[in-house]
Structure 1
């Protein structure tokens, strides 16, 4: 499969993958059954379920020995008092990593965006060892591309790494990484990509994250669903192979993968192990 440099790059990224899961009732059991302990697990924040569901699942997985990364969606946190409580709660559970997106919900308090929450974490003495922020390879529906790159520049003092949102175009990934690095954003990057997806299961999962939220998600991500569910469409292996030249460049600073599982956790881990086996053979 391709040359040795490509193999080495892809093996490295697959070995440093982490899985994003939704805080549904079945998620914990699926992770415990199918995900090895050397894979970090991030837990999304759902406006319909609230932050408690995110924190509780992260805590339970942490007690099982997983490195867990709860999403602290800024607009779902009321202010510094609640942020202090959340930080103390997570530290008590041994959780040292968080991911801070702005979130899709309307602000419930003081934080209109991720930067405002990140600034308060700094005032609190940087309670977490690792703090991830979002990057947008594809155009954001409401924010100009230049502003999304500027936002990463603004957040660089408060975050330790960038997690890219979904993109299916290796050329877009290449240009975005080049723009980000030329701007002086040197944080390590986790490349966001979907795991293997079954159309029926994906639509079923969309209904479980809340009717209103599902409607918004489907409306915003029609292209995502079409590409994931189309026969012979997107495949993770083909995507990674096409991205490999960019990801192999030392200046890209890509240190791993952030895999959106859509809670198809067993299938995602089987795909990762299968691809690793082929790359190593």
Structure 2
């Protein structure tokens, strides 16, 4: 990890960037304000909160500490981080209950739309001296019935070998390790990248304060983020992890699924590795 990046990649800066990205994201699937559903969800949430207070005899000192912490979450811009780490995996679980194709996973707070378009075989944008083990990630995009999906779109983004994401940490090129790969006429793609490192969610902000107070660890296992789509099919958002990697069995975000674990193999060219993973998309 470079000292410069480590010194300046603060929770506040990362949180502010994540919040701004969320605010600018067009949410065409957002709830339309069904008052009965809002009433049901909010009432049940509050009822569950009231039950916790009663069962654990919450004191005023603890209540004031909670209020102070909630205020700090907002001040640090960490609501996207908090929700994506501890809540989103259940929302994704519910959303994917009826899918037959590839398993989904959380989007997380570090997605940026409109990454540079790349051909079916491409190298992700990266620095000339990008650290990390070279990885060839390849596969095919099909419908659930096995029909190839020509020109399917494979958006990919990942942390670097230090665990940092471009546009959310300083001193990284804007699109470092981000790209939109357009599959070929048979739905195949090949992406040359590096194997990412596990990363620590920011610990100097409100979320880090919660982690420390609860005695948890702040780590996510190494993973590739993907959004895969094709006309007439449902977009799938997922993450792919690495067999035997640290924190695969103890992910702070509880987002790992057995179906999403990769097993790269040596290519015979130095330390280079390769792995094949195919995507099956449900019809829209």
TM-score normalised by structure 1 residue count: 0.23
Instruction: Tell which structure's C-alpha radius of gyration is larger.
Output: 2
Higher helix proportion, which one?
1
Higher strand proportion, which one?
2
TM-score normalised by structure 2 residue count: 0.23
